[in-house]
Chains A and B, each alone.
Chain A
């Protein structure tokens, strides 16, 4: 999907262009629904999440200097995935009756979801700007790949060196996030 396609979709959302928004539904909702149904959700959940993602995206275009750097479909899919993870967390808390529930209006809830998506993008952006070596190392570390395998893969002297390297990459990532002006607003 090209950048111009993304712009067509973004403009359609701003204009409320029913024909093109319907096209977005028919082309992109099935993938989102497939993901949500495989992760404890229903078709109805998928539709609600999809609508929220479109609505929140529109707010970002309206009041933020926001551009999609990847394809529209990829952006929307990720936003839906994140919203669904958020929804599952809320449901889990409700079932466990965990903690005190703060009464949040629908508007505030949408705002918070937008900022959480922005925070997700900030982290992704900084991960991408790490060296290839650090990126791969952290991916493996968080996939719980053992230090033994990491030592073999990267040719490190021992597991302690691998640990130090992971530690340095995490430290570097945290520094990159802290240097970004969005850090104060989002974290």
Chain B
């Protein structure tokens, strides 16, 4: 007999993790069908699990959407939708025609054209080559709560100023740390467009004794890519491709090819 009064949460957990026997599952599903409150609790835990696992669960049909539906049906909303779409078209066409404009400019001055095209393509390349999956993990086995985790969370939540402040506090107050934290320090500066400060932090990583120190070179390249410094970008990428062991060696080669 399933005791949902005393073991409600345990049973929900067992049911959702699939560790119930087929007989118990059948009995529990019967209870869910009969008990609306239990069904709602199961649903909630399912939703929370999906939330943490970044899975999607659609809204239940019975949820009332009347007020939002009325707004979206209004003329005001339709006009606004059209405005947003038209601005999107303007944005896309500006982006698309940057290249032909630079060709036209070449008739006036080859130098201006090359510089214009170079700048445009660099921003696209930065979007293609900077990936958050390159950011290091700072999970450690230390038993104490570490401020470095807060830096990672703030960064992941795109609160770059907060992450930067936490980083500065952490560096000042900590004597022994995982050198990968320099990457977070540098990236917060890069996100805030403080290129020189970003370079200093990435240089610290490159010069550190960490096994991952070549990551410093890759992120230095990202600064030059974002900041349109073609000469320094080339130099840095060429250093990376000298050693296949270096972080993102293949990506560095590929990026150099694209730049050529």
Q: Assess the B59–A119 pair: CB atoms within 8 A.
A: yes
Which chain B positions have C-beta within 8 A of A140? 139
Q: Assess the A51–B68 pair: CB atoms within 8 A.
A: no
Find A102's partner among B40, B45, B61, B72 (CB 8 Å cutoff).
B61
Instruction: Across the interface, name the chain B residue whose C-beta is closest to A183.
Output: B44
Interface membership of B23, Cβ < 8 A: no
> What's the nearest-Cβ distance from chain A to residue B11, in Å?
12
> What's the nearest-Cβ distance from chain A to residue B123, in Å?
7
**Do A16 and B63 contact each other (CB < 8 Å), given the known contacts A85-B56, A123-B51, A173-B48?**
no
Find A185's partner among B56, B63, B90, B159 (CB 8 Å cutoff).
B63
**Interface set, chain A 2-31, CB cutoff 8 A to B:** 13, 16, 18, 21-22, 25-26, 29-31
Q: Assess the A187–B51 pair: CB atoms within 8 A.
A: no
> What's the nearest-Cβ distance from chain B to residue A60, in Å?
9
Q: Assess the A51–B73 pair: CB atoms within 8 A.
A: no
Which chain B positions have C-beta within 8 A of A136? 145, 149
**Interface set, chain B 110-125, CB cutoff 8 A to A:** 123
Q: Assess the A89–B56 pair: CB atoms within 8 A.
A: yes
Interface membership of B4, Cβ < 8 A: no
Bound Cα distance A111, B70 (Å) = 9
**Do A112 and B65 contact each other (CB < 8 Å), given the known contacts A59-B72, A63-B71?**
yes
Closest 8 CB pairs of A and B: A111-B68, A111-B65, A142-B52, A107-B72, A34-B127, A74-B158, A25-B91, A155-B143
Interface membership of B35, Cβ < 8 A: no
Interface membership of B142, Cβ < 8 A: yes
**Do A185 and B61 contact each other (CB < 8 Å), given the known contacts A21-B84, A55-B84, A71-B159?**
no
Which chain A positions have C-beta within 8 A of B13? 167, 170
**Interface set, chain A 166-186, CB cutoff 8 A to B:** 167, 170-171, 173-174, 177-178, 183, 185-186
A-B contact count (CB 8 A): 150
- Range of interface residues on A (Cβ < 8 Å): 35 or more
How many residues from B make CB contacts under 8 Å with A?
A: 58
Interface membership of A116, Cβ < 8 A: yes
Q: Assess the B44–A174 pair: CB atoms within 8 A.
A: yes
Bound Cα distance A135, B128 (Å) = 32
Q: Assess the B85–A51 pair: CB atoms within 8 A.
A: yes
Q: Assess the B51–A73 pair: CB atoms within 8 A.
A: no
Q: Assess the B59–A116 pair: CB atoms within 8 A.
A: yes
**Do A108 and B65 contact each other (CB < 8 Å), given the known contacts A16-B83, A59-B71, A115-B59?**
yes
Interface membership of B77, Cβ < 8 A: yes
- Bits for B32-61, please: 1 = Cβ < 8 Å to A, else 0: 000000001101110111011111101111
Interface membership of B195, Cβ < 8 A: no
Q: Assess the A63–B68 pair: CB atoms within 8 A.
A: yes
Find A107's partner among B49, B73, B79 (CB 8 Å cutoff).
B73
Q: Assess the B141–A29 pair: CB atoms within 8 A.
A: no
Which chain A positions have C-beta within 8 A of B55? 85
Q: Assess the B40–A187 pair: CB atoms within 8 A.
A: yes
Q: Assess the A30–B127 pair: CB atoms within 8 A.
A: yes
A-B contact pairs, 6 of them (CB 8 A): A33-B127, A38-B131, A63-B68, A133-B145, A174-B44, A185-B63
> What's the nearest-Cβ distance from chain B to residue A1, in Å?
8
Bound Cα distance A111, B60 (Å) = 12
Interface membership of A145, Cβ < 8 A: yes
Q: Assess the A120–B51 pair: CB atoms within 8 A.
A: yes
Q: Assess the A77–B145 pair: CB atoms within 8 A.
A: no
Instruction: Across the interface, name the chain B residue whose C-beta is closest to A43.
Output: B92
**Interface set, chain B 144-179, CB cutoff 8 A to A:** 145, 149, 157-159, 161
